[in-house]
Amino acid sequence: MLGTGLIGLFYTATLHGGRNRDRVHLVYSRSEERARAFADEHGVPNWSTDLEEAVSHPEVDTVIVGLPNHLHEEAIELAARSGKAILCTKPLARSAAEAKRILDTVEQAGVFAGYLEDLCYTPKTLKAMKMVQGGSVGSVTWARSRETHPGPHSAWFWDEQQAGGGAIVDLGCHCIEIVRNFVGKDNRPLEVVCWTDTLVHPISAEDNAIALIRFESGAIGQFEVSWTFRGGMDLRDEVAGTEGTIWLNHFLRTGFEAFTSGAGGGYVAEKAETESGWLFPVGDEVAELGYVDMFADMFDSMDAGRQPMETFYDGYVVNAIIDACYRSAESKRWEPVELEDWRGAGVERIGRERREHDGKTVIKQETMPDGRLKLILKDEETGEFVDVVTEAETPVGA
C-alpha cells in the first residue's frame, strides 16, 4: 500500500474488512511517522519510506498506488520493473501523455494493471450497468454524472502542479468513467465542450466545471463537478435512453434519514456539514462507494488471469477526455478528444426508425382516454404536420 492518506485508509479498511481473505503486508509513506502510525493502527506487519524497497518487498505480490497524482508515474515504473501486479488510484495521471507512458510501461512489462475507479463499482452502478446492457433503457441518449462537495481534505489536491488541475481532475475523472460505462466503452468519445471557473476559493485551479461529451452513437455525456457545494457530498448519476431512465443517488438520499437536536454529540454522518438537524448518512460507506466490489473484481481477475472491468487503458481514455475539457475551457469551443490509441469496436448511431401511416411519417402516437389512437403525422412531400385520430385501438407498427 503506497500512501497513508484518506484513500489509503479506505483501501485498507476495505481489504481488512468483513471476512476478507486479502491483507496489506506493507505500507509506504514519505513520512516515517505516518508509515509507522498507519502500520500500527491497521495491523500491517511492515512499513517503509523507501519506494523502491517497498515495491520490491518479497511478501508483496500487488502494489497499490494511493499517492498524489504527480507521484503515480514513478511508483508504477518501479513496480512494473519488479514484475508486481499494479493497482492505481484515480486519476491514472495528470494528462493523456503521462497516462500513455504509464500504460506503455505496464503493457511492456506484461504485469497485471487495474485502475481503481471505485465509483464505477458501487453496487447500484453495477446493477444499473447490467440493466443498461440488458436493454432495459434501450439506446442510451444521455448520461449525467454529478459529484460535488465543499472541497478536498488534503493540501496537495488544491495545488494545480501536484494534482494536474482542480475539480475536474479530482472529481470529473469519476464522472467521465461512469458516463463511459453507461454509454458503452466501444462508443468513441468524439468531442467535448467544457466550462470551468474559480468562483469561490482563492486558488488558480477550477473549483467548478461542467462539460458535455459527444459520443460516436450521438449519445451525450454530461458531468458537473464542484468544490463549492453546500450540504454534504452530492453523488448522483442519471441515464436516459430510448426505452427508459435510471436515477442513482449514492449519498444524500439513500433511504437513511435522521433528525437530531445535536444530543449525544458524536459523529453521526460522513461528510455532513452539520451535526444537528436533518442528516442523511450512508449505511456502509466503504461498500456503497464501490471499494468492496472493486477490489473483489481486481483480485478475482488477477487470480483468473483476465482483465478487470477498469484497466489502465480506461484511465488513459479518461485523461484524454480531461485534456480536451481543459482545451475547450480555454478555446471556448468544442474540442476533439485526441486518442492516438483507440481500441473500441465502434457503435451505430442511435436509431431513428421511421414508421408510416397512410404514406405519412408517424411522429408520435398516444392512446386517448376513449381507447382510440391519436397520431401526429408528417407529410414528407409538403412538410405539413397534422393530428389524426384513428379508430384502430392497437398501436401502428407495434
**Contacting a copy of itself within 295-354 (CB under 8 A):** 295-296, 299-300, 331-334, 350, 352, 354
Smallest gap from Cβ 220 to a copy of itself, in A, equals 6
Kindly identify the residues of this chain, within the stretch 259-298, that bind a copy of itself according to CB under 8 A: 259-268, 273-274, 276-281, 283-284, 287-288, 292-293, 295-296
Residue with Cβ nearer a copy of itself (74 or 257) = 257
Residue with Cβ nearer a copy of itself (292 or 347) = 292
Please tell me whether residue 371 binds a copy of itself under the rule CB under 8 A: no
Binding mask 175-204 toward a copy of itself (x if CB under 8 A, else -) reads: ------------------x-x-xxxxxxx-
Q: Pick from 245, 306, 346, 389 the residue near a copy of itself by CB under 8 A.
A: 245
Q: Pick from 83, 135, 346, 397 the residue near a copy of itself by CB under 8 A.
A: 135
CB atoms under 10 Å from CB of 263, counted, come to: 7
Looking at the DSSP bridge assignments, the partners of residue 374 are 366, 389
Can you read off the three cell numbers belonging to residue 373? Answer: 389512437
Candidates 72-80, 246-254, 313-321, 390-398; binding stretch for a copy of itself (CB under 8 A): 246-254
Query: For residue 57, what is the DSSP state?
Result: -
Residue with Cβ nearer a copy of itself (161 or 307) = 161
State the Cα angle at 232 between 226 and 233, rounded to 5°.
55
Please tell me whether residue 230 binds a copy of itself under the rule CB under 8 A: yes
CA atoms within 13 A on the CB side of 209: 28
Please tell me whether residue 122 binds a copy of itself under the rule CB under 8 A: yes
Candidates 55-63, 111-119, 169-177, 244-252; binding stretch for a copy of itself (CB under 8 A): 244-252
Residue 282 identity (one-letter amino acid): V
Smallest gap from Cβ 268 to a copy of itself, in A, equals 6
Please tell me whether residue 10 binds a copy of itself under the rule CB under 8 A: no
Smallest gap from Cβ 122 to a copy of itself, in A, equals 7
Please tell me whether residue 390 binds a copy of itself under the rule CB under 8 A: no
Q: Pick from 151, 190, 327, 344 the residue near a copy of itself by CB under 8 A.
A: 151
The helix or strand, by DSSP H or E, that contains position 310, with its residue range, turns out to be: none
Query: For residue 121, what is the DSSP state?
Result: G
Burial of 39 (0-12, 13-18, 19+ CB in 10 A): buried
Residue 60 phi/psi, 5-degree rounding, is -90, 125
Binding mask 41-60 toward a copy of itself (x if CB under 8 A, else -) reads: --------------------
**DSSP states along 94-151:** SSHHHHHHHHHHHHHHT--EEEE-GGGGSHHHHHHHHHHHTTTT-SEEEEEEEEE-S-
Mapping DSSP to helix (H, G, I), strand (E, B) and coil, where does residue 251 land? coil
End-to-end C-alpha distance for the chain, whole angstroms: 57
Applying CB under 8 A, the site for a copy of itself has a residue count of 121
- Identify the CA nearest to 68 among candidates 151, 148, 155: 155
Chain Cα centroid distance, residue 42: 28
- Identify the CA nearest to 163 among candidates 69, 75, 93: 69
